[in-house]
Amino acid sequence: MTMLLEVSGVSVTFDGFRAINNLSFNIGKAEMRAIIGPNGAGKTTFMDIVTGKTRPDEGKVLWGDKSISLIRMSEAQIARAGVGRKFQRPTVFEDQNVFDNLLLALKKNRSPFSVLTYKKSGEDVTKVEALATEIGLRDQLGRKSGELSHGQKQWLEIGMLLAQDPQLLLVDEPAAGMTHEEREHTTSLLVEAAKTRAVVVVEHDMEFVRRLNCKVTVLHEGSVLAEGSLDHVTANQQVIDVYLGR
Amino acid sequence: MRRESFFARNPSVVVFLLCLAAFTLVVSVMSEGAGAGLISTSFIKTLGKTLCLCLVAVAMDLVWGYTGILSLGHFAFFGLGGYMVGMWLMYQRTHDIVAASMANATIPPTEQEIVDAIGTQIFGVVGSSEFPPVWAFADSLVIQLALVVLIPGLLALVFGWLAFRSRVTGVYLSILTQAMTLALSLYLFQNDSGLRGNNGLSGLQNLPGVEASQAVVSIWFLWASALALGLGYLLAAWVVSGKFGSVIRGIRDDEARVRFLGYSVEGYKLFIFVLTAVIAGIAGALYYPQAGIINPAEVAPIASIYLAVWVAIGGRGRLYGAVIGAAFVSLVSTWFTGGQVPSVNLGFYRIDWVEWWQVILGLSFVLVTLFAPKGIGGLFDLLAGRIVPNRHGADYGPDKGSFQEAEGRE
């Protein structure tokens, strides 16, 4: 299977602190992956590098069939290339309603002039409604997203991610602050998404990771400590020492 | 989903345009130019100028209220628009006068002699008689009118490209825009800038080749300003109403998120910055022929700060708020600084409103920011019963109270 994303030998230093140290990471085209690790292991920095927010000091980040380097591309270009990102804190446009949030994310030409002359087509409305149904916000379309509950905002953000139709979803702690039922819904959304695209989930909650039932990568001090099934990595003595034991 | 027309989705635009048309009509009928003579020509000019200020306030609201870029330099574009049209007005009028006086000479003057005489007339005040290169097209109305749009647009394009590309945001951007307008003002103050230094351009109220009296000309400019404001408002409302508006409000609220959705935030900011600069330039080009004079003090940093104050007091993030703020504050300001308000004698101190008006303005800005962040425009929410939470996204509503705005201006 060809890889969708190949990160190899990446290092990045902030003021002398090595946040990422010779990290290598691959993910295939329709794969779910969970990344776990203690605080400061470099999980968020890893996402920053892939999405273009942070430039690595060295190493390669290659994308897709043509192995395009993502390193010189801007955040917006990378997003258009097919990388979607969900932040830890739910970031939706609170001043706008659910429909507009989803429409904004819907995969379309992003240039100012084409957006200026954009006319809402019936097809787009149908797509937005289908997405809203999938994330359970069908009845909330006209509501301002700032009024939604925490869990609903998280789903809206996942919905926006899906609307972008990315090949790779980077999801940072999707289950944080959610109730039990909300977690189950979130799990099924992500599992469904991983059938057609790559999904990388950063999560602290082991129970949630277990439910995702996927390959796990453990990060520690900016590099990969262990990789494999959850049972495999949790049996690893090093992982127990640096992460689980604490 | 039901497809509705632009006006059906934005009823406030219709209300605004009707108010503007009614206002213009009423003022015209009552003017000296139309014969009724209830409103003096100088006040017609004040109202016409106010409409231009409303237009630049709409531009400011687009760039600040909707996109979240607190530009404190938009009066630079306003002033440049004024200079561009002023150059033609001054050149052509001087040309007419010089040509008329020389026509009586026994030997008819050559074209070069006329041009030299114009140069002496215009630049004598700065000790020169040569036309600087910037006046190359001053004899062509068409080119100067094109420059009204092109020069502010180009300056905004270059400045915006440099600033946005470097991801300068927030207060740093505001300071940069202040520096821009300060630099422009200082440059224009120099005699060798080619635009008559601190004298500026004057006599702009006289339209070359027009025999009509100022009373009539003032009405023309009132109409032109009202038309420009109406069109500018319509354009701005169209820009902010659709998906584009959604993107720029997204940029205002969370720039990084918009970027990760794949939108080129810098491109959008640049688009809005240039568009608003062009609108400001057009507003300035209509303003200064009514004011009669433009000098570098007009683009001083404080002017752009006032613009932000108007929009804040009127209520940013809604276009009619910007219009109301600009109209209300600038008219009240005219009233206070006109010296017609009786001073208050407290016995131990005499409150002279010309000076104290600044204090009132500053104080009301602080109070509005602290206690009524929606500004005067927020009152319409109260009237329409749409107090928090308002669930309709953009702050457009069937603003029944909009008639107050025309009252406020009259």
- The answer to the question of residue B410 being in a domain is no
| Pairing state between β B350-351 and A17-28 | unpaired
User: What is the per-residue pLDDT for B1?
Assistant: 46
A167 or B397, higher pLDDT: A167
User: What is the per-residue pLDDT for B385?
Assistant: 62
User: What is the per-residue pLDDT for A81?
Assistant: 93
Which chain A residue's Cα is nearest to B262?
Answer: A76
User: What is the per-residue pLDDT for B3?
Assistant: 58
Task: Say if the Cβ atoms of B242 and A118 lie within 8 Å.
Answer: yes
Residue A7's DSSP bridge partners are A25, A61
User: Within 13 Å of residue B403, how many CA atoms lie on the same side as its CB?
Assistant: 2
- The answer to the question of residue B84 being in a domain is yes
H helices present in A69-179, as ranges: 75-81, 98-105, 112-116, 122-134, 150-163
Size of interface A-B (CB pairs under 8 A): 87
Q: In the 3-class helix/strand/coil scheme, how is chain B assigned residue by residue?
A: CCCCCHHHHCHHHHHHHHHHHHHHHHHHHHECCCCCCCECHHHHHHHHHHHHHHHHHHHHHHHHHHCCCCCCCHHHHHHHHHHHHHHHHHHHHHHHHHHHHHCCCCCCCCHHHHHHHHHHHHHHHHCCCCCCHHHCCCCCHHHHHHHHHHHHHHHHHHHHHHHHHCCCCHHHHHHHHHHHHHHHHHHHHCHHHCCCHHHCEECCCCCCCCCCCHHHHHHHHHHHHHHHHHHHHHHHHHHHHCHHHHHHHHHHHCHHHHHHCCCCHHHHHHHHHHHHHHHHHHHHHHHHHHHCEECHHHHCHHHHHHHHHHHHHHCCCCHHHHHHHHHHHHHHHHHHHCCCCCCEECCCCEECHHHHHHHHHHHHHHHHHHHCCCCCCHHHHHHCCCCCCCCCCCCCCCCHHHHHHHHHHC
Assess whether pLDDT exceeds 70 at residue B395: no
B127 contacts chain A (CB < 8 A): no
Residue A13's DSSP bridge partners are A18
pLDDT band at B377 (very low <50, low <70, confident <90, very high): confident
Task: Say if the Cβ atoms of B262 and A110 lie within 8 Å.
Answer: yes
Assess whether pLDDT exceeds 60 at residue A246: no
Task: Write the pLDDT tens digit of every residue in B263-299.
Answer: 999 999 999 999 999 999 999 999 999 999 999 999 9
User: What is the per-residue pLDDT for A16?
Assistant: 83
Assess whether pLDDT exceeds 60 at residue A143: yes
The answer for B 174-213 residues in CB contact with A (under 8 A) is none
Cα gap B50→B226, rounded to integer Å:
10
Assess whether pLDDT exceeds 80 at residue A1: no
pLDDT band at B390 (very low <50, low <70, confident <90, very high): very low
Q: Once rounded to an integer, what is the mean pLDDT over residues A162-180?
A: 89
Identify the CA nearest to B283 among candidates B335, B227, B333: B227
B373 contacts chain A (CB < 8 A): no
In angstroms, what separates the C-alpha of B58 from chain A's closest C-alpha?
18
Cα gap B147→A113, rounded to integer Å:
23
In angstroms, what separates the C-alpha of B193 from chain A's closest C-alpha?
37
Q: Which amino acid is at B278?
A: V
Task: Write the pLDDT tens digit of every residue in A59-100.
Answer: 999 998 888 999 989 999 999 999 999 888 888 999 999 999
Task: Write the pLDDT tens digit of every residue in B52-66.
Answer: 999 999 999 999 999
B241 contacts chain A (CB < 8 A): no
Please tell me the total count of domains within chain B: 1
Cα gap B344→B358, rounded to integer Å:
16
Measured between beta carbons, which residues in chain A are less than 8 angstroms from residue B256? 53, 75, 91
pLDDT band at B391 (very low <50, low <70, confident <90, very high): very low
Contact present, B240 and B248 (Cβ < 8 Å) = yes
Assess whether pLDDT exceeds 60 at residue B226: yes
Residue A34's DSSP bridge partners are A201, A216
Least confident among A241-245, B11-15, B243-247, B363-367: A241-245
Reading phi first (left if > 0) and then psi (alpha if -120 to 50, else beta), residue A46 is in alpha
User: What is the per-residue pLDDT for A166?
Assistant: 93
In angstroms, what separates the C-alpha of B246 from chain A's closest C-alpha?
7
User: What is the per-residue pLDDT for B398?
Assistant: 38
User: What is the per-residue pLDDT for A7?
Assistant: 92
In percent, the amount of chain B with pLDDT more than 70 equals 93
Measured between beta carbons, which residues in chain A are less than 8 angstroms from residue B262? 76-77, 79-80, 110, 164
User: What is the per-residue pLDDT for A42?
Assistant: 87
Tokens, residue A175: 């289950």
Residue A17's DSSP bridge partners are A14
User: What is the per-residue pLDDT for A175?
Assistant: 83
User: What is the per-residue pLDDT for B407?
Assistant: 42
- The answer to the question of residue B292 being in a domain is yes
- Tell me which residue in B253, B262, B268 faces A94 most closely, judged by beta carbons: B253
Assess whether pLDDT exceeds 90 at residue B227: yes
Burial of B337 (0-12, 13-18, 19+ CB in 10 A): middle
Q: Which of A54, A104, A113, A114 to probe by mutation at the B interface, max B CB count within 10 Å?
A: A104
Question: Considering chain B, what is the average pLDDT of its residues?
Answer: 88
Q: Once rounded to an integer, what is the mean pLDDT over residues B394-404?
A: 38
- The answer to the question of residue B268 being in a domain is yes
pLDDT band at A206 (very low <50, low <70, confident <90, very high): confident
B90 or B111, higher pLDDT: B90
Task: Say if the Cβ atoms of B242 and A104 lie within 8 Å.
Answer: no
Q: Once rounded to an integer, what is the mean pLDDT over residues A148-166?
A: 91
Tokens, residue A132: 């809203």
- The answer to the question of residue B41 being in a domain is yes
User: What is the per-residue pLDDT for B392?
Assistant: 42
Assess whether pLDDT exceeds 50 at residue B334: yes
- State which of B21-35, B140-154, B203-217 shows the largest mean pLDDT: B140-154
Q: What is the ipTM of this complex?
A: 0.89
Task: Say if the Cβ atoms of A95 and B243 lie within 8 Å.
Answer: no
User: What is the per-residue pLDDT for B350?
Assistant: 84
User: What is the per-residue pLDDT for B135?
Assistant: 92
Task: Say if the Cβ atoms of A95 and B253 lie within 8 Å.
Answer: yes
- The answer to the question of residue B324 being in a domain is no
pLDDT band at B405 (very low <50, low <70, confident <90, very high): very low
Q: Which amino acid is at B173?
A: L
Assess whether pLDDT exceeds 50 at residue B396: no
pTM: 0.90
User: What is the per-residue pLDDT for B264?
Assistant: 94
Task: Say if the Cβ atoms of B239 and A116 lie within 8 Å.
Answer: yes
User: What is the per-residue pLDDT for A235?
Assistant: 87
In angstroms, what separates the C-alpha of A225 from chain B's closest C-alpha?
29
- The answer to the question of residue B303 being in a domain is no
B262 contacts chain A (CB < 8 A): yes
Task: Write the pLDDT tens digit of every residue in B336-356.
Answer: 888 778 888 888 888 888 888
Task: Say if the Cβ atoms of B246 and A112 lie within 8 Å.
Answer: no
Least confident among A179-188, B101-110, B205-214, B218-227: B101-110
Which position has the token pair 């052509």?
B92
pLDDT band at A245 (very low <50, low <70, confident <90, very high): low
- The answer to the question of residue B313 being in a domain is no
3-state secondary structure of A126: helix
Kindly list the structural domains of chain A, giving each domain's residue range(s) and its CATH number in brackets, ordered by start. 3-244 (3.40.50.300)
Distances from the Cα of B401 to the Cαs of A174, B369, B397, in angstroms? 46, 22, 11
In percent, the amount of chain A with pLDDT more than 70 equals 99
Task: Say if the Cβ atoms of A110 and B249 lie within 8 Å.
Answer: no
Question: Considering chain A, what is the average pLDDT of its residues?
Answer: 89
Q: Once rounded to an integer, what is the mean pLDDT over residues A108-136?
A: 91
B349 contacts chain A (CB < 8 A): no
**Domain hosting residue B51, numbered range:** 6-298
Q: Once rounded to an integer, what is the mean pLDDT over residues A120-148?
A: 91
